[in-house]
Every structure is written in C-alpha cells, then in structure tokens.
C-alpha cells in the first residue's frame, strides 16, 4: 500500500473518529507491525496539537506472560494503561497481530483471572466514554496473521480492511457522515419503541428497550462501523437464540452457540465446539445477562472473517452481547466481559418493534 492510504487512514482516525484537538493526551496502543500507520497518526495528532504517548507490543509477549506469570501477576492491573484510562483524553488501539493463535493453548482459567482483574479499569473506561471525557477508537492494521485468519491473501485482506473503512473514497470522512445520516432515521424510529423481538428459523427472543438510548455507531469509535445498538432492560430478555456464526472469546472459537434466556438471565447454554470455555464465560459475574442488542447495517461488509470489529457490522445480521453494558445506552449490567455473539437474519429473519414488523430478510422495511 502507498503512503497515501496510511495518511488517509490517519486523518480519518485523528479528525473524524477521535476528533483530536489541541492539548489532548493521546495513547496509541498497538504492535510495531503497524509502524506506517502509527507514524502518520502521530504526525497528524501533533499537527492538531495533541501530546502523544505509545504502548507498543513485541512478538510473543502474551504467551510469555501466561507461561511464566504467577497468581499475583495474573491479578495485577497494568498501571500505565490504567493511568491513561483514568486521565487521558483519547486512546487509539490499532489491532496489528503477530499470531492470533498465540495464546490458544493457554488455560481459560488463567484468562478468566486476568479478565476479572481488569474489570475495574474496563468499567472506568466505559464510564468516561459515556461521560464524553474519553474519546476512543479501535481499528485494524492488516497483517499476515489477520489475512490468514480470514482466509485471504495479504493483498485481498488489505483491500477488504481499507475498503470497509471507505479509504478508497476521495473523502472518507464525508462517506462516514453520509452513513451516519442514513442510520439516524432508524435510530429515531427505534427510540420511540418499547419492545423489540428478533426472530429467525432458530431463534425467537424479545426484550424491552423502554427508556434506553439507541446509538448510531458510524465510525466515531470503532473503525469501521455500521450498526445501531442499545442495551435491553436487564430482566426483560426472554426466549431462545442460536448464534449461527462462531463466537471468538480471547482468541478461542466457540461454535454454534444456543442460549435459553428467562427474565434476562441465560439459564441454559450449549455449543457444538468449545462448551468448556462457554461454561467458563458464564461463570464470570454479570456474563449471564445482556449488555447490548444490535443490528448490523454495513452492507459493504458481507464476509465473515472471525474478527468482530468487522463481523458485527455485517449488513443483514444482529448481535447480542453478554456482559457489560455501555453506560451511554442507560444499560446497567456490569461485568468484566462484553462478548458479542452474531446471528444471520438474511434468510427469513424478522424484527418486530412494539408488535409491528420493521425488518425482513436482513433489511429494514420502514
């Protein structure tokens, strides 16, 4: 890729997603594989007057940690990142993996300890985001590992990532503004409804969204984006749902997940693959209730690549997240987990709002 694509990417992140201004303290969190993009982000953040610091990982660090850390170290809260979450104005996380299977053989019990140890930092991150005092964005830098996981060549994967971010458009920021405006009509409609029901051939689940806030997710946090979401009223979710796409939890796959929910709580669960890990997830406090319900609206993304940054945005899908709610939706569920699970709606899927059908076969009909 030419330098121009990295400059366009950086300008989109700095000016549109993060809206960096003079005096902002920005933490860039990535690996050294993303060096071309990191340099451009650094340059344009400086041009905007920000003070920039870095947290850059090297290959193999995760596996070394899990192989050698004792209980005290597994429970340790990283202080540099904690300080940024509590004090900085902006955090940019650029996913640029060396090896997506690096920690696949690590005990899920160890991962659970680390996850729970960091729950207070995750909670503060969400609080400051909801308050508007912390701007954040999560994006992808194409690497060989990402390409292999998605079963694409490196060139194909680069084109997929950059195309999903509208970087081949003359003005990516204007393209995201257009998407935002298109989605707003659905947000405005849903904001006036109290009950939602998701139905497909394997699922029938309903919940209340009374007094909850629907969010127009259009690239100002995750890049790319393209979804509308809220939090269900915590004790209102009832029914059953099958997630037809694999769930990826901390780098490990759980396939063909089926849940039964009663009065907001997951009471039964099963999976064709990864049942033991699923059991571990649901033993984490707060993970058996839902923190998010969402509808994917980015019809430019139509390929499942085992990367939820892209997959949850697929036009014609819905997803539900077990665990923590985003406070700006007025959701109250707390957990160290926020795990998105994805279901296809293109083959007969329907969504009802207050009993009225508003969506069929993967598309809004309002």
pLDDT of res. 251? 74
User: Does the pLDDT value for residue 1 go beyond 70?
Assistant: no
Q: Residue 354: which region, alpha, beta or left (left: phi > 0; alpha: psi -120 to 50)? A: left
CB atoms near residue 127 (< 10 Å): 14
Closest to 110 (Cα-Cα) out of 79, 82, 71: 71
- The pLDDT tens digits for 177-206 are 999 999 999 999 999 999 999 999 999 999
- Average pLDDT of 54-64? 96
Q: State how far the alpha carbon of 204 is from the alpha carbons of 179, 200, 352, in Å.
A: 29, 7, 11
Q: Which helix (H) or strand (E) holds 308?
A: helix 308-311
Nearest Cα to Cα of residue 305 among 158, 106, 140, 146: 146
Burial class of residue 55 in the structure, from the number of CB atoms within 10 Å of its CB (0-12 exposed, 13-18 middle, 19+ buried): middle
The mean per-residue pLDDT over the stretch 97-115 comes to 91
- The overall average pLDDT reported for the chain is 95
- Enumerate domains of the chain plus CATH numbers: 3-168 (3.40.1830.10), 174-364 (no CATH)
pLDDT band at residue 2 using 50, 70 and 90 as cut-offs? low
Tell me the per-residue pLDDT of 308-333, one tens digit each, with 9 for 90 and over: 999 999 999 999 999 999 999 999 99
Distance CA 134, CA 137 (A): 10
Q: What is the pLDDT of residue 3?
A: 58
Q: Which of 32, 95, 103 is nearest to 74 (CA)?
A: 103
Give yes or no for a contact between 157 and 242, defined as CB atoms under 8 angstroms apart: no
List Cβ neighbours of 99 (8 Å cut-off, separation of 6 or more).
59, 60, 145
- Residue 312, Ramachandran bin (φ over 0: left; ψ between -120 and 50: alpha; else beta): alpha
- The pTM is what? 0.88
For 228-268, what is each residue's pLDDT tens digit? 999 999 999 999 999 989 988 877 889 999 999 999 999 99
Distance in angstroms (rounded) separating the CA atoms of residues 69 and 335? 24
pLDDT of residue 88 exceeding 70, the answer is yes
> Smallest Cα–Cα separation from 284: which of 111, 130, 77, 55?
111
């Amino acid at each position: 890729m030419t330098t121009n694509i990295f400059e366009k990417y950086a300008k989109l992140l700095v000016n549109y997603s993060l809206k960096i201004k003079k005096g902002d303290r920005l933490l860039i969190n990535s690996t050294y594989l993303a060096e071309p993009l990191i340099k451009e982000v650094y340059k344009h953040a400086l041009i905007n007057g920000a003070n920039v610091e870095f947290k850059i990982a090297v290959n193999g660090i995760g596996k070394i940690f899990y192989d050698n850390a004792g209980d005290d170290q597994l429970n340790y809260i990283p202080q540099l990142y904690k300080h940024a979450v509590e004090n900085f104005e902006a955090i940019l996380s650029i996913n640029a993996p060396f090896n997506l299977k690096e920690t696949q053989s690590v005990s899920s019990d160890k991962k659970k300890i680390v996850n729970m140890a960091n729950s207070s930092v995750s909670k503060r991150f969400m609080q400051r985001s909801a308050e508007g005092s912390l701007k954040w964005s999560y994006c992808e830098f194409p690497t060989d590992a990402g390409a292999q996981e998605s079963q694409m060549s490196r060139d194909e994967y680069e084109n997929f990532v950059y195309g999903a971010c509208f970087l081949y458009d003359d003005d990516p920021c204007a393209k995201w503004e257009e998407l935002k405006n298109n989605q707003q009509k659905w947000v405005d409609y849903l904001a006036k409804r109290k009950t939602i029901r998701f139905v497909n051939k394997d699922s029938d689940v309903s919940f209340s969204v009374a007094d909850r806030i629907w969010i127009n997710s259009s690239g100002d946090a995750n890049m790319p984006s393209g979804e509308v979401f809220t939090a269900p009223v915590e004790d209102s979710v009832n029914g059953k749902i099958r997630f037809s796409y694999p769930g990826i939890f901390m780098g490990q796959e759980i396939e063909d997940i089926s849940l039964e929910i009663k009065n907001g709580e997951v009471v039964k669960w099963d999976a064709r693959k990864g049942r033991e890990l699923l059991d571990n997830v649901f033993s984490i406090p707060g993970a058996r209730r839902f923190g998010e319900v969402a509808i994917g609206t980015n019809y430019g993304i139509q390929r499942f690549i085992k990367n939820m940054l892209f997959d949850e945005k697929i036009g014609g899908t819905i997803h539900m997240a077990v665990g923590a709610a985003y406070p700006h939706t007025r959701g109250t569920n707390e957990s160290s987990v926020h795990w998105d699970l994805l279901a296809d709606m293109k083959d007969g899927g329907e969504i009802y709002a207050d009993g009225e059908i508003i969506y069929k076969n993967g598309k809004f009909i309002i």
